[in-house]
Amino acid sequence: MTGTDAAGKLPLELQILELFASIELLAIGPTDAEKFLGVSKGAISPRLKALAEAGYLTRIGAGKYTAGPKMLSLATTYMGLLARNIDEAMGVLSDRWLKAQEAFRQMATMFRSEGGEEAS
């Protein structure tokens, strides 16, 4: 049940999921997907249903779908990993900043002790 887009890049199911990141709609139906993807509703509808059955989308009535539990779980996991990476990077940058400050203080002290201090 996996068709690919016109350029053969991604399966239609992934293109549908990407719509949630690329447009400002909280819910997407076959008509919305047809408009943005240029693929017939007949091709989109069964894929929306399959994505919902797999837990990636949740049907919210009137043929509209929103992000489902699996999609939200993936996003939550990714955000957690991203937050940890940011925390680690901030720690490294903080350490480097403190070392740079200390090196600057030492250079300034050496400069002053060698008589390089400007007269007031």
CA distance 104 to 88: 24
Two structure tokens written together for 65: 């779908």
Rounded average pLDDT over 84-106:
83
**CATH number, domain 12-67:** 1.10.10.10
Residue type, 21: A
Helix, coil or strand: residue 20: helix
pLDDT at 4 exceeding the cut of 70 = no
**Full DSSP string of 48-80:** HHHHHHTTSEEEEETTEEEE-HHHHHHHHHHHH
Taking the whole predicted model, whether its pTM rises above 0.85 is answered as no
Max Cα separation, the chain? 83
Q: Are the C-beta atoms of 57 and 65 separated by less than 8 Å?
A: yes
pLDDT score at 72: 84
Q: How far apart are the C-alpha atoms of 96 and 106, rounded to whole Å?
A: 15
Domain spans of the chain?
12-67, 69-120
Q: Which residue has the higher pLDDT, 86 or 6?
A: 86
- Structure confidence at residue 62 as a pLDDT band (50, 70, 90): confident
| Strand ranges for 5-118 from DSSP E | 57-61, 64-67
